């Protein structure tokens, strides 16, 4: 489908764009069996508790997987037993071609059945681990979405991404791969010991197992050291991710100032720290994993000496001795695997602790205990703000703000840089929490409204016009999931961006890149403005959202704004006074205090700060009469 000859924000039923490319409006979905998992990630903020709930919810899946692995090991330990029987038959001179065929067939069956049973258990555990990884990442993201803005002011995106990538992956590897290996190792060891007790010699087995008794002491000694080293590695990875995200975001500045070598040097320092800490972790892990097979090798030495003696004196058959050496070899492998798994669990424990600290963070701004319902919201705004300061500030950034905005009015807020304009509108949206009974919407303190109710009633366009790295059509439709192609087109026309979109080869399906990198500053602002027009909320806030458009485009947008918002509340924050000269009232701020209030004509006639700004902009050609 096209709109007036241009590609529209509409996709054919086959999920492709008109030129055959995959549709960017298709939302990727998880497999059907994890769309509605048994444990929803919002049920708990503790990842350990979430893990326990998840394991319990899939107890039968894990039980079946573990039983399948157990059965595979019971089958596998028949391998040395069959070879022992083959050796005894050969020693007695009774081996025939028919017997060779029987033994070969038995070994083949053992191998095939083992692969099938172990594959079923491994696949089941691996699938469950991936499912938990999906749940935990989903839980992390939903938690971040609920946290207040103040939380992100003191944290880097790179560190948060490291939580979502490396920490979650470490937990998943321990849950799926670790559980597979641990189940295999434990059952193989138990099955092997059982066969040696039953078919070889209990005394030989017990004596050979003496060195293995030292393994628990190694676990107690090395476990905490591995865990602490793993935590320090994850912290170093977070530092590297933070620097990488920061440097790539500022790549234009880095190149413009010829600071590539400096950034590369900073990155090298972070990587060197990672390598140093990873080598420390590797040394501890290597020592831990080497001690366990060492004990297994000592067991093999004992078995070879004592078992060889028993075979020579006829206490055990040659076939039993051959089988026992194979069994002992099979014991060394699970011992190594157990050491590997314990290391993995130590790393996962460190990651779980980091995730727990993150998930236990509580948002500063929450819904009231007893919210007030206002439906529908008309858009009457009243501000009676005695003072406001940021939590980490030592002085008020706003004071003595009194403003009443009946719905249907347009209000302009102007002032020099850092005069408190953006802070004031941020309080209206509870990005920061205002004092109680200081800001009202339809006569109700906004702190008594649900956050969803409040923010659904407000359309906000920031100065940078933030856009997502998807299609321009999806960016416009972001605030309204049910938007039709016709509504998206009309919003683009109202924001004076439609002609620009029509000039793109893919129209509304044009991919605009990260943060809208493919668009100019003015195109970004107009796209964000179209998104706000499409939302059509009772209250519209434009935070210097026309600063990057030319004067003629600004005039057309303001004309559409007055037409579309005739009966709704509009708040325009601006440096360019042409954007507010037609407002019903204008508030002038200076260092967070109101110094003037009135219409454009009244303020110009008063000859104060507003008049000075207006005269200056007229002289420079920034504004028009």
Helix (H) or strand (E) holding 382: strand 381-388
The model's pLDDT over 56-114, given as tens digits with 9 standing for 90+, comes to 888 888 888 888 888 887 888 787 778 778 877 877 777 788 888 888 898 889 889 98
- 240 prior amide bond cis, ω within 30: no
Q: Which long-range contacts (CB under 8 A, 24 or more apart) does 426-429 make?
A: 427/385, 427/388, 427/398, 428/381, 428/383, 428/458, 428/539, 428/541, 428/571, 429/454, 429/455, 429/458, 429/460, 429/541
Confidence of residue 21 (pLDDT cuts 50, 70, 90): very low
CA atoms within 13 A on the CB side of 296: 21
Q: What is the DSSP string of 441-470?
A: ETTEEGGGS-HHHHHHTEEEE-TT----SS
What is the phi/psi pair of residue 382, to 5°? -135, 130
Q: What percent of the chain has pLDDT over 70?
A: 87
With a cut of 70, say whether residue 2 has pLDDT above it: no
Q: What is the DSSP string of 576-597?
A: SGGGTTTSSEEEEEETTEEEEE
Q: Which residue has the higher pLDDT, 526 or 182?
A: 526
The model's pLDDT over 315-325, given as tens digits with 9 standing for 90+, comes to 877 777 777 77
Q: Which domains does the chain have, with CATH numbers?
A: 1-28+468-536 (3.40.50.300), 46-148+156-359 (1.20.1560.10), 375-457+538-625 (3.40.50.300)
Contact criterion met (CB below 8 Å) for 387 and 559 = no
Q: 306-336 burial string, b = 16+ CB within 10 Å, else e?
A: ebeebbeeeebbbbbbbbbbbbbebbbbbbb
Q: Which residue has the higher pLDDT, 571 or 271?
A: 571
With a cut of 60, say whether residue 28 has pLDDT above it: no
Q: Which residue has the higher pLDDT, 142 or 410?
A: 410
With a cut of 60, say whether residue 30 has pLDDT above it: no
CA distance 304 to 117: 32
The token duo for 532 is: 């706000």
Q: What percent of the chain has pLDDT over 90?
A: 26
Is the CA virtual torsion 522, 528, 530, 536 positive or negative? Answer: negative
Q: Sort residue 379 into left (φ over 0), alpha (ψ -120 to 50) or beta.
A: left
State how far the alpha carbon of 84 is from the alpha carbons of 98, 200, 315, 324, in Å.
17, 10, 15, 8
Kindly report the pTM of this predicted structure. 0.65
CA distance 14 to 545: 38
């Amino acid at each position: 489908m096209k709109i007036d000859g241009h590609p529209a924000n509409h996709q054919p039923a086959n999920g492709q764009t008109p030129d055959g490319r995959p549709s960017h409006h298709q939302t990727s979905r998880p497999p059907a069996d994890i769309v509605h998992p048994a444990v929803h990630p919002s049920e708990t903020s503790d990842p350990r508790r979430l893990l326990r709930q998840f394991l319990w919810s899939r107890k039968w899946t894990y039980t079946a997987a573990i039983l399948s692995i157990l059965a595979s090991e019971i089958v596998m330990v028949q391998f040395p037993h069959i070879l022992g029987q083959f050796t005894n038959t050969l020693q007695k001179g009774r081996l025939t071609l028919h017997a060779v065929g029987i033994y070969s067939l038995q070994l083949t069956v053992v191998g095939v059945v083992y692969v099938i049973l172990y594959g079923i258990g491994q696949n089941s555990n691996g699938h469950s681990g991936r499912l938990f990884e999906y749940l935990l990442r989903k839980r992390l993201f939903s938690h971040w979405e609920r946290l207040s803005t103040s939380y992100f002011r003191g944290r880097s995106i790179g560190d948060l991404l490291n939580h979502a990538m490396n920490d979650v992956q470490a937990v998943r590897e321990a849950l799926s791969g670790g559980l597979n290996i641990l189940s295999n190792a434990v059952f193989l060891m138990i099955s092997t010991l059982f066969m040696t007790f039953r078919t070889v010699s209990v005394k030989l087995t017990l004596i050979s197992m003496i060195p293995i008794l030292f393994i628990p002491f190694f676990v107690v000694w090395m476990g905490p050291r591995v865990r602490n080293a793993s935590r320090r590695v994850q912290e170093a990875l977070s530092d590297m991710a933070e620097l990488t995200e920061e440097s790539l975001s500022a790549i234009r500045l880095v190149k413009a100032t010829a600071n590539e070598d400096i950034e590369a040097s900073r990155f090298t320092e972070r990587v060197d720290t990672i390598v140093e800490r990873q080598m420390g972790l590797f040394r501890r892990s290597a020592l831990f994993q080497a001690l366990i097979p060492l004990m297994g090798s000592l067991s093999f030495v004992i078995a070879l000496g004592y078992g060889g003696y028993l075979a020579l004196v006829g206490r055990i058959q040659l076939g039993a001795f051959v089988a026992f050496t194979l069994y002992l070899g099979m014991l060394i492998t699970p011992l190594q695997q157990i050491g590997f798994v314990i290391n993995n669990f130590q790393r996962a424990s460190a990651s779980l602790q980091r995730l727990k600290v993150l998930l236990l963070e509580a948002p500063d701004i929450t819904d009231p205990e007893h919210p007030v319902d206002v439906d529908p919201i008309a858009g009457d705004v009243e501000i009676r703000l005695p003072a406001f300061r940021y939590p980490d500030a030592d002085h008020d950034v706003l004071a003595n703000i009194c403003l009443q905005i009946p719905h249907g009015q347009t209000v302009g807020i102007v002032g020099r840089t850092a005069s408190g304009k953006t802070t004031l509108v941020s309080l209206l949206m509870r990005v920061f929490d205002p004092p109680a009974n200081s800001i009202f919407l339809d006569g109700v303190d906004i702190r008594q409204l649900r956050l969803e109710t409040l923010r659904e009633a407000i359309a906000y366009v920031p100065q940078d016009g933030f856009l997502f790295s998807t299609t321009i059509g999806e960016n416009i439709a972001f605030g309204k999931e049910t938007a039709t192609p016709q509504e998206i087109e009309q919003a683009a026309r109202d924001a004076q961006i439609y002609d620009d979109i029509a000039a793109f080869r893919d129209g509304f399906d044009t991919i605009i890149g990260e943060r809208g990198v493919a668009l100019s500053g003015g195109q970004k602002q107009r796209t964000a403005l179209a998104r706000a027009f499409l939302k059509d909320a009772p209250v519209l806030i434009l935070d210097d959202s026309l600063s990057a458009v030319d004067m003629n485009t600004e005039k057309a947008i303001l004309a559409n704004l007055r037409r579309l918002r005739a009966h709704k509340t509009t708040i325009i924050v601006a440096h360019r006074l042409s954007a507010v000269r037609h407002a019903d009232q204008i508030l002038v701020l200076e260092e967070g205090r109101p110094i003037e209030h009135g219409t454009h004509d009244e303020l110009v006639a008063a000859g104060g700060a507003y008049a000075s700004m207006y005269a200056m902009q007229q002289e420079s050609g920034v504004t028009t009469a």
